[in-house]
Amino acid sequence: MLTDVKLRGLKPRPKLYRVADSEGLCIEIRPGGSMLWRYRYRFAGKANMLGLGEYPQVSLREARLARDAQRKVLKGGADPSVKRQQDSATLALAQANTFKAVAGEWLDKQQHLTQSTLDKAKWMLEELAFPWLGTRPIADIQPPELLSVLRRVESRGRLETAQRLKQRCAQVFRYAVATGRAERNPCADLAGALATPKTVHRAAVLDPTGIGELLRAIDSFTGTFPTACALKLAPLVFVRPGELRQAEWAEIDLDAAQWRIPASKMKMRRDHLVPLSSQAVAILRGLEPLTGRRRYLFPSVRSGARPMSENTINAALRRLGYDKHEMTGHGFRSLASTRLHEMGWTSEVIERQLAHAERNKVKAAYNHAEYLPERRRMMQAWADYLDTLRDRRNVVAGNFGHAA
């Protein structure tokens, strides 16, 4: 039998050779000097050999224990080599079917989401779910285990985030069920298990006097010129904050007075056309000499290769004295929607310009330019209306309505 002293004394030879220990265990010495443990056995009358690791990383004692384990497999009626291959395949399958692996596949297939929405979903899963569920076989995750992860978020007072995380996990589990990696979605058993957050409406100035004060405050903004232009443009186009800050000059046609936002940037993943009023065109012509040679209308102050930060508009509003309960970048959409309805413009025209989801999917496929003439008139009338509010003129909303 081998000993540690004998093992240390073994030297390489021009050809590979083996030295036996006992019960099928041997050490294989290769010409290059490496020493490998081998277990030699017979199964169904055929000789075979199984590797047990390299010496000295695997000690003599560990090699004997590994041999004993393989002998038990042999005594149980299985071929140790075949059993190892099966175990490796099972492990590989388990690793491919972890929550993290399946979630990664699901994320790769969500090309219909905007990049910002996709980034948020990825962040949520990576930061709030993977640390606890990432390495778990997705089929083994039970409702109590998932609930404990969600309650970690809930316990920090982030009720809405906990609900959103549950929604994302549910989408991952549904994908796992559809692809045969799980038998059921444990989220279905968690109905009512999390606290429901109170609905918080986006802050927005809605009354005409307040709107006029807001517009005058925007005119007095003393920050960077691109940020000032973004602030002035926001109420005129009332797109989502992410769409505004990521606007590119290649999307703008000042001669045609329109801004064509590609589907990849839109929440609903459909191209969106924004008619530009004469006031909006004037703002952009003033900005063009400064940023027109760059990709973005409103580049980041740190790098012209990136758009301004998602917090820039809100931070500018704070500098003007409007806190998050009074006005936000998204609030310009509520402001426009509320006042335009009061001005008599039809809901179909307003909703199309807001790029809200069309419930009728067949109709949605054809409404890229739907109501475009009315939308052009509405956007110009809206800009004119805002001018009157800024200038403190007596305003009758109906004078700027659809009938005009």
Question: 289-293 contacts: CB < 8 A, separation 24 or more?
Answer: 290/225, 290/226, 291/226, 291/249, 292/249
* Cα–Cα distance for residue pair 117/239, rounded to 1 Å: 16
State the pLDDT at residue 118. Answer: 84
Instruction: Return the closest-CA partner of residue 340 out of 372, 332, 201, 359.
Output: 332
Instruction: Return the closest-CA partner of residue 204 out of 321, 333, 316, 355.
Output: 333
| Model confidence at 199: pLDDT above 60 | no
* Cα–Cα distance for residue pair 204/329, rounded to 1 Å: 9
The residues annotated as belonging to the active site are 240, 267, 330, 333, 356, 366
pLDDT tens by residue, 86-136:
877 666 666 678 999 999 999 999 877 777 788 889 999 999 999 999 999
State the pLDDT at residue 393. Answer: 66
Signed CA dihedral, 297, 300, 306, 307: sign only: negative
Q: What are the residues whose beta carbons fall under 8 Å from the beta carbon of 160, sequence distance 6 or more?
A: 197
- DSSP annotation of 356 reads P
Instruction: Return the closest-CA partner of residue 287 out of 315, 262, 252.
Output: 252
| Model confidence at 289: pLDDT above 50 | yes
Signed CA dihedral, 372, 376, 377, 381: sign only: positive
Average per-residue pLDDT for the chain: 88
Give kind and range of the element (H or E) at residue 87: helix 80-96
Q: Is the pLDDT higher at 148 or at 91?
A: 148
Are 137 and 181 in contact by the 8 Å Cβ rule? The answer is: no
pLDDT tens by residue, 357-396:
654 554 544 555 688 999 999 999 999 999 999 998 655 5
Which domains are present in the chain? 4-84 (3.30.160.390), 99-190 (1.10.150.130), 208-400 (1.10.443.10)
Confidence of residue 323 (pLDDT cuts 50, 70, 90): confident
State the pLDDT at residue 63. Answer: 95
Q: Is the pLDDT higher at 191 or at 397?
A: 191
Pairing status of strand 35-43 against strand 258-261: unpaired
* Cα–Cα distance for residue pair 205/332, rounded to 1 Å: 8
Instruction: Return the closest-CA partner of residue 201 out of 315, 330, 343.
Output: 330
Signed CA dihedral, 172, 173, 174, 176: sign only: positive
Signed CA dihedral, 365, 368, 369, 370: sign only: positive
Are 186 and 143 in contact by the 8 Å Cβ rule? The answer is: yes
Confidence of residue 208 (pLDDT cuts 50, 70, 90): confident
Give kind and range of the element (H or E) at residue 154: helix 143-154
Which residues are bridge partners to 145 per DSSP?
Answer: none
Alpha helices in 3-77 (DSSP H): 4-9, 60-75
